[in-house]
Structure 1
Amino acid sequence: MTPSASLVGCLRSHGDRVALHTETTQLTYRDLAGAVTATGPSLGSGRRLILLETRNDTETLTRYLAALAAGHVVIPVPAERDHHAIIDTYDPDTVIDASGIHHRHRRAVHRLHDDLALLMSTSGSTGSPKLVRLSRINLISNAAAISEYLDIRETDRAATTLPLSYCYGLSVVHSHLLRGAGLILTGHSVVDDRFWELFRRHRGTSLAGVPHTFDLLDRIGFDAMELPHLRYLTQAGGRMPPEQVSRWAAHARERGRKFFVMYGATEATARMAYLPPEAALSHPGCIGRPIPGGALSIDSSDDWPDGTGELVYTGPNVMMGYAQQPADLALGATVDELRTGDIARRGPDGLYEIVGRSSRFVKLYGLRIDLQRLEAALRSHDTAALCAEHDGRIVVAATTRRSAHELRQLTAAAAGVPATAVRAVVVPELPRLASGKPDYPAVRRLAAMPDPDAATDAVDLRRLFADVLHLDPTTIDTRASFVDLGGNSLTYVAMSVRLEQAIGHLPARWHLMPLDRLQPTTAPRRRWGSTVETSVALRAAAIVLIVGSHADLFKLWGGAHVLLGVAGYNFGRFCLTPVPRRQRVLHLRNTIAWIAVPSIVWVAIALAVTDDYHISNLLLANKFLGPPDSMTAGRLWFVEVLVWILVALTVVVWLPRADRWERRRPFGFAAALLVVGLALRYDLPGFDLGREAWFTVLAFWFFAAGWAAAKASTLWQRTIVTAVVAMGLHGYFGNPDREMLVLAGFVLLIWLPALRCPAAVAGVCGLLAEASLYIYLTHYQVYPLAGDHPLIGVVLSLATGVVLTRLVTAVRGRVAGRSAGLSVRELAPRAELAESKGGMIAP
């Protein structure tokens, strides 16, 4: 039977079961088999060597399967990386990238062994042309073994949390397709709300991750998520500390799930051993037992105690051998066992435990990094270096004219890891033994020396965070994030602008990242090199439009309605975090207080010195209690509407059934409320709350539209929200210009998450956005002071709000300073609220 008939037949045998779930479509096994068959001819004639840039999407997976089905040999590589070393070494016949299929040779030019199916790199992103040769038997046997011990069922659906260029990611694909299970194809990170919306919608049953993945899950509050269909989690890609294994195993058992710790290598196709879930609590430091069909043994030597030695694996999934040049592709199997380079022992219960390493490879962030290759990469940059591993970091000692900071950045880029994973030391001479061989123990000892470069980076960020958050910099733990340190809505905007200026870029979800991972960029700064979040820019622009229109500098109405949409957008992003229902309600309570308290205080002051307000304004209830005087009722309508919307939504979130629905269908829940709000936008019979009170209900749909925009994760969802906003705005104000202005704001919010602009513009946007609540509250009393000079009145209003914001922030800082000696753990109760405060729901 030909490979094509075998693979396509296997796919087709699963019939109309859904094979692939994406954000926009579903594909049955029958459809997938047809797509694979149809794609085959486009890959070229003959048996070709194909380099495939991988993405977690249907097109990549179809092309990959089509190449295997046609008997081609595939080299999967990560997208948007430099692959010149592999291309120059192996001269592939065909290259497939984002722009399409490119045939470099009309005819296949390589001699390829009949069994060869796949070539995979083991050296991360260091560009090593040394590849692992894998056969069809390797792929099938390992997929069968994995599916057996994980008990993968036809009803299972696994999310692609890992890249398809990584053997772990491919093993998830192979094992599930073999059993007729489903794949949830997504390139979103687990910290992205869109990932979880997709996972819940398609009832995901399993998650696979490297240790860093589980760190991210910890950070986003995974243990409080409602994932009713999740059956098990798997971890591989590096050693997870035993205490973490115990914690995750206990978490899984409490929720009726299973947690598998797995051990493997690309040279074994993927897996060699697994730790049964029931053993994870009692033996969290072990790698477990061999996979079905495989065997482990210990090769002892005089250098290790009895029963301890190098771990050796045998099984049908052991690679054919390595390839370092095109001629190697014609070779058959050159190895029959895999010497792992790990030092291990076997316990009396049959479980194996790793106790050390003997190889020159390290595994960080899911990458197996060849330190020898890394040294060669540094030499190509005129840097003589020795690299070792110590305590989960790469230690590099080098003789170079570069600074330690530059050496660390260069090494991190070559290894494909964050700079925080590298300890760099510039030395006058490389440490060597008397024999002249490298002295790697001496390199590791350098890791114990003070690291002035890392200290400088950390101290700078500590001072920056301390300045904005009013903390003592010496008490800031660089493993803490903005949220952990108590960041709130008053500091989120200022922190985002200053951080972008400090490190040269603003990472996605930076507020959840530890300080020691917020690294400066090495790219040169450009005039238009600053980034400002669209929601921040819209807040700044809207408050200028509001003040300018009220002061008669111009007449551009609609800014307050844009602000209402931004408030809903940030409510969706920050107030509905995956935490227990009680904490959600607590978040909302505090969010309401951050808006209502300063508003009430200012109204009280204004009532004492002016006739601008009524006692009902003090209760933020003028829309309900009157009087309906246009000036009194209109001046604070935005704050009143926003506060009462949040009060109503707090009641909704408090309801267990509503809370569960929102967690399972976040976009659907927001869209349903948008439909309700849009229905109320029109005159409905039987509803007579009074004109002013009804205005509050009518305005809700703007907030709901922003909320739905925040939860829209697919093209069709964003398109629907845009269309609904456009429909709802038609005729709403009776002023086409006003309607177009508001629509433009929503379109930017829905489709453009961030804007590039000069640093000065970003700074002004941040300043005005941060002060927008106080500008809004005070400008009615300020701009009249300028008399017939509206421009002066607008500038004076903006400046007053900015100054008042700074004064209030300083007072809060002084109060917070009394707690500056608190540890991060002691700050946790405040930190758990920061996600909602950081959302900047206030105008």
Structure 2
Amino acid sequence: MPFARELAAHGDRVALVTPEGELSYRDLAERVAATAERLGPVRRLVLLAGANRTDALVTHLAALSAGHPVLLVPGDSESTIRSLTKAYAPDVVARPDADGTWNLDERHPGSVHTLHPDLALLLSTSGSTGSPKLVRLSHENLQANAESIAAYLDLADTDRAATTLPPHYCYGLSVIHSHLVRGAGLILTERSVSEAAFWEEFRAARGTSLAGVPYTFDLLDRVGFERMDLPHLRRVTQAGGRLAPERVARYAESGRRSGWELFVMYGQTEATARMAYLPPRLAAERPEAVGVPIPGGSFRLRPVDGHGPDVGELVYSGPNVMLGYADGPADLALGRTVTELHTGDLARLASDGLYEITGRRSRFAKILGLRIDPQRVESLLEERGVTAYCAGDGEALAVAALGSAGEQTRIRRLVAQECGLPSRAVRVRALDRLPRLATGKPDYEAVRRLTRPVEEAAAPGSGEDLRRLYAEILDRTDVTEDSSFAGLGGDSLCYVEMSLRLEEALGHLPTDWHTRTIRELRTTRVPAATSWRTRRTLETGIALRAVGIVLIVGSHVQIFDIKGFAHILLCVAGYNFARFQLTDAGRRERVRHLWRSIARIAVPSMVWITGAVVLTDFYDPANALLLNSLLDQGNDRFDWAYWFVEALVHFLVFLAVLMAVPLLDRLERRYAFGVPLALTAIGLVGRYDLLGLASPRPQLTPTVVFWLFTLGWAAARASAVRQRALLTAVLVLTVPGLFHDQPLRTALVIVGLALLIWVPALPSLGPLSALAGVLASSSLYIYLTHYQVYPYLQEDFPRTALFASLLVGIGYAAVVTRVTRTVRWL
């Protein structure tokens, strides 16, 4: 392997930039030579746990330089390592120990295998599945493909590429090999492009090359890549699946403005890595094409029945075509068994000499006697604005689509009509995130699994039992093992009931249960024999809502005078906003979810208050429209009765508008704690009324109390002690003075919010948790209705007034819940 043997020829040029420092080619060559000597002169099969770390790369290069075939596997998949070790009995296993120390486990002094002289590398085409079917690649394959890629990318020894992809994936490995061929540098990192630290490393190392699969570009969109200052970036490469033509054109144009080139590439593991590339100058005008063959390669189109004369299966020839497949150790002795690669892709040659992929021959499915092309279905949905993965599954077409459950019927109808299938033969599952393999490619097996109907029995605490619970409370029909409360659109209005019911079913509930899948929750179930010993707890937010609504109503009835909880509940609302609204879903789904939540608060509130406006003389129409604070209808006590609901709706509407802006959405995902902290700082302008916007009742004005909502948001995102300490300091410094001459109210707000920041859950008892759950889940409706209940009982029967107010609110909550399960858009 010339490029592995001739590392020292590049002298003192920087080969690797790592978190520990830089390594020259001369030093890298010495480390490679030492490891090669350790491996010995007798050829042995080396199973290497791939990782973008120096030890792994040194071992890889040492084996190649000394002629030892490498079985390269994903280092983060213990099951794959175990499976392939069992299947192929490697002579050496190179991987880190439990403490991270790199280890060469020499299992045989020689080799138990017969290894063909040309065999250099074994790679899987199926990701982290542990499948024993491997691609056999030769020394010539690796050297030729690396040189070809370096040629059409015009790599120079001044280039530096970041390892954004895993080395066990042929695309990621080709980045490494092609740069080593030219004596260029590698920025060796295991960070994701979604991390700020990655970009700090990339800039500091003067990175020139960036490689990505389609999912990488999703992450780049989220972090605002197109607006980044990357002065040394020369090229961005894309492969690993089809990138939508409009995105190709957009990135090509962005590169033209910023001074870098976009290379769209096409390849397969069976061709070592690359077979075609689209010249950057054509990316903007021909984004749908895969381009021209790489240097040294060629294509031909093999006729396929059922297609016109201009479309055929794409067949590739070149020095990078694999030796063949291996299904077991005996196949390691084989030489070349294939001379050209039948890609399985359908393509056409356009008049301008560029090849275009039109479909996937091997993905055709026969459903109810009809021949269906899943890739064509994906393209059809993409034209309708739906991103989806499709796969045949027996007598049904499985479709996993980005979107909400409410869109499933529309997608099913659209696919059925276009394909000529009955609706029953199309299974659709709407997801917040499409399933991908570790390489970023679509996981079609997961698509089939996620769309299959559930058939297992419903034992208590089983997956089916939990799915029924989720379906009942969230009124969803698409609940699966991989669903989570947040992913299904759950919010604070149904969170309390769900958490209490789940704790009953499971015996114990982790604090992050709302983001865990049903499959994960099922594994946390406490056995019945030990569940009685499990201490019951109550989330602090639920406890504050339950206690708060009782104290709010009781203070209005004048049974006691303990004020301040409405302001605490604003902070709790911000806390829940962060947990249930700002999920990992895409921006559009996030915003849709947020508007639905706004409707679930605003509509029942406006309906009730409208009745109060019509039937009493205490309220103005502005109250019914939740606009009293903006229209300034007066300063009577009842004019401001619903200030809390107004403030909450105004805040959510304002944030829904902000989150709809792509840049702000990306900023929030990147700076989860920093964004609410910055908004809190902005909110303090209103807190101290520096712009003169406060009403005669300043502590009830939305602009004055907005900072409490964002403080709760920040509390939900605080993951470190220093972050919680900072929020506590803000709390202690800013609450005093909000309530003039009311030290008890001030102290109560500080203590309540400090609990929310520092104490996630409080000790509880089963009956107490059940009572708190009913009060907390009905707290908004109790607040809405109590103004029309207690005045008629307050003077003669104050305690009855309190209990009646609570019961009417609980009743209204039950009515609203029933109605919202009927009216789907709520």
TM-score if structure 2 supplies the norm length?
Answer: 0.59
Rate the CA distance shift 1:300–1:676 in 2: closer, same or farther, 3 A: closer
Q: 2:373 aligns with which of 382, 387, 391?
A: 391
2:277 aligned counterpart, secondary structure: strand
Alignment partner, residue 545 of structure 2: 543
Q: 1:777 aligns with which of 779, 784, 798?
A: 784
Deviation at residue 289 of structure 1 after TM alignment = 1.9
CA distance in 2, matches of 1:808, 1:301: 56
Alignment partner, residue 39 of structure 2: 46
Q: 2:811 aligns with which of 787, 794, 800?
A: 800
CA distance in 1, matches of 2:35, 2:802: 64
2:295 aligned counterpart, secondary structure: coil
The CA RMSD over aligned residues, in Å, is 6.7
Preserved contact between residue 548 and residue 794 of structure 1 (Cα < 8 Å): no
Q: In structure 2, give the amino acid aligned to 1:566.
A: Y
1:180 and 2:185 aligned: yes
Alignment partner, residue 680 of structure 2: 674
CA distance in 2, matches of 1:338, 1:67: 31
Q: Write out per-residue CA displacement over residues 27-73 of structure 1, whole angstroms, 9 at most, x where no aligned residue.
A: 7644999999999999995367554556xxxx754443232244373
Q: In structure 2, give the amino acid aligned to 1:76.
A: V
Preserved contact between residue 562 and residue 746 of structure 1 (Cα < 8 Å): no
Sequence identity (%) = 32
1:788 aligned counterpart, secondary structure: helix
Preserved contact between residue 578 and residue 716 of structure 2 (Cα < 8 Å): yes
2:59 aligned counterpart, secondary structure: helix
Rate the CA distance shift 1:352–1:227 in 2: closer, same or farther, 3 A: closer
Q: Write out per-residue CA displacement over residues 396-447 of structure 1, whole angstroms, 9 at most, x where no aligned residue.
A: xxxxxxxxxxxxxxxxxxxxxx9962422xxxxxxxxxxxxxxxxxxxxxx5
Alignment partner, residue 124 of structure 2: 121
Q: In structure 2, give the amino acid aligned to 1:228.
A: R
1:87 aligned counterpart, secondary structure: helix
Alignment partner, residue 527 of structure 2: none
1:76 aligned counterpart, secondary structure: strand
Preserved contact between residue 226 and residue 663 of structure 1 (Cα < 8 Å): no
Q: 2:483 aligns with which of 490, 506, 512?
A: 506
Rate the CA distance shift 1:745–1:667 in 2: closer, same or farther, 3 A: closer
Alignment partner, residue 73 of structure 2: 76
Deviation at residue 796 of structure 1 after TM alignment = 1.5
Q: 1:423 aligns with which of 388, 393, 397?
A: 393
2:341 aligned counterpart, secondary structure: strand
Q: In structure 2, give the amino acid aligned to 1:391.
A: D
Alignment partner, residue 788 of structure 1: 799
2:39 aligned counterpart, secondary structure: coil
CA distance in 1, matches of 2:14, 2:52: 21
Rate the CA distance shift 1:80–1:538 in 2: closer, same or farther, 3 A: farther
Alignment partner, residue 320 of structure 2: 317
Alignment partner, residue 573 of structure 1: 582
Preserved contact between residue 614 and residue 632 of structure 1 (Cα < 8 Å): no
Q: In structure 1, give the amino acid aligned to 2:273.
A: A
Rate the CA distance shift 1:148–1:567 in 2: closer, same or farther, 3 A: farther
Alignment partner, residue 87 of structure 1: 85
CA distance in 1, matches of 2:7, 2:779: 60
Alignment partner, residue 13 of structure 1: 13
1:227 and 2:226 aligned: yes
Q: 1:264 aligns with which of 264, 267, 270?
A: 267
Rate the CA distance shift 1:248–1:646 in 2: closer, same or farther, 3 A: closer
Preserved contact between residue 587 and residue 662 of structure 2 (Cα < 8 Å): no
Residue correspondence of structure 1 range 187-206 to structure 2 within 5 A:
none
Deviation at residue 290 of structure 1 after TM alignment = 1.6
Alignment partner, residue 704 of structure 1: 710
Q: In structure 1, give the amino acid aligned to 2:293.
A: P
1:421 aligned counterpart, secondary structure: strand
Residue correspondence of structure 1 range 371-390 to structure 2 within 5 A:
none
Give ranges in structure 1 of 5+ residues lacking alignment.
21-25, 189-193, 365-387, 395-417, 425-446, 456-460, 467-473, 485-492, 513-524, 753-759, 817-836, 838-843
Q: Write out per-residue CA displacement over residues 360-380 of structure 1, whole angstroms, 9 at most, x where no aligned residue.
A: x6599xxxxxxxxxxxxxxxx
Between the two proteins, the alignment pairs up a number of residues equal to: 668
CA distance in 2, matches of 1:32, 1:767: 68
Alignment partner, residue 722 of structure 1: 724
1:563 and 2:569 aligned: no
Alignment partner, residue 820 of structure 2: 809
CA distance in 2, matches of 1:278, 1:271: 19
CA distance in 2, matches of 1:272, 1:245: 19
CA distance in 1, matches of 2:700, 2:342: 70
CA distance in 2, matches of 1:528, 1:505: 21
Deviation at residue 391 of structure 1 after TM alignment = 2.0
1:503 aligned counterpart, secondary structure: coil
Q: 1:533 aligns with which of 486, 502, 514?
A: 514
Deviation at residue 802 of structure 1 after TM alignment = 1.6
Rate the CA distance shift 1:49–1:11 in 2: closer, same or farther, 3 A: farther
Rate the CA distance shift 1:142–1:498 in 2: closer, same or farther, 3 A: farther
1:75 aligned counterpart, secondary structure: strand
Relative contact order, CA 8 A, sep 6+: which one is greater? 1
Q: In structure 1, give the amino acid aligned to 2:480.
A: I
Preserved contact between residue 313 and residue 337 of structure 1 (Cα < 8 Å): no
Rate the CA distance shift 1:780–1:532 in 2: closer, same or farther, 3 A: farther
Rate the CA distance shift 1:766–1:132 in 2: closer, same or farther, 3 A: farther
Q: In structure 2, give the amino acid aligned to 1:14.
A: V
Preserved contact between residue 686 and residue 693 of structure 2 (Cα < 8 Å): no
Q: Write out per-residue CA displacement over residues 273-303 of structure 1, whole angstroms, 9 at most, x where no aligned residue.
A: 2233565687777643221343445789999
Preserved contact between residue 158 and residue 206 of structure 1 (Cα < 8 Å): yes
2:265 aligned counterpart, secondary structure: strand
CA distance in 1, matches of 2:79, 2:296: 36
Deviation at residue 270 of structure 1 after TM alignment = 1.0
CA distance in 2, matches of 1:483, 1:31: 44
1:573 aligned counterpart, secondary structure: coil
Rate the CA distance shift 1:794–1:274 in 2: closer, same or farther, 3 A: farther
Q: In structure 1, give the amino acid aligned to 2:72.
A: I
CA distance in 2, matches of 1:506, 1:324: 36
1:262 aligned counterpart, secondary structure: strand
Alignment partner, residue 208 of structure 1: 212
2:726 aligned counterpart, secondary structure: helix
Rate the CA distance shift 1:561–1:260 in 2: closer, same or farther, 3 A: same
TM-score if structure 1 supplies the norm length?
Answer: 0.58
Preserved contact between residue 360 and residue 375 of structure 2 (Cα < 8 Å): no
Residue correspondence of structure 1 range 582-661 to structure 2 within 5 A:
599=605, 602-603=608-609, 605-606=611-612, 636-643=642-649, 645=651
2:226 aligned counterpart, secondary structure: coil
Preserved contact between residue 234 and residue 259 of structure 1 (Cα < 8 Å): yes
CA distance in 2, matches of 1:52, 1:677: 54
1:270 aligned counterpart, secondary structure: coil
1:132 aligned counterpart, secondary structure: strand
Rate the CA distance shift 1:599–1:206 in 2: closer, same or farther, 3 A: farther
CA distance in 1, matches of 2:815, 2:186: 59
Alignment partner, residue 488 of structure 1: none
Preserved contact between residue 786 and residue 806 of structure 2 (Cα < 8 Å): no
Preserved contact between residue 171 and residue 240 of structure 2 (Cα < 8 Å): yes
Bigger Cα displacement from structure 2, 298-307 vs 722-731: 298-307
Q: Write out per-residue CA displacement over residues 456-494 of structure 1, whole angstroms, 9 at most, x where no aligned residue.
A: xxxxx889989xxxxxxx99997684899xxxxxxxx98
Alignment partner, residue 291 of structure 2: 288
CA distance in 1, matches of 2:771, 2:392: 36
Rate the CA distance shift 1:96–1:299 in 2: closer, same or farther, 3 A: same
Preserved contact between residue 142 and residue 317 of structure 1 (Cα < 8 Å): yes
Q: 1:693 aligns with which of 694, 698, 706?
A: 698
Bigger Cα displacement from structure 2, 610-619 vs 693-702: 610-619
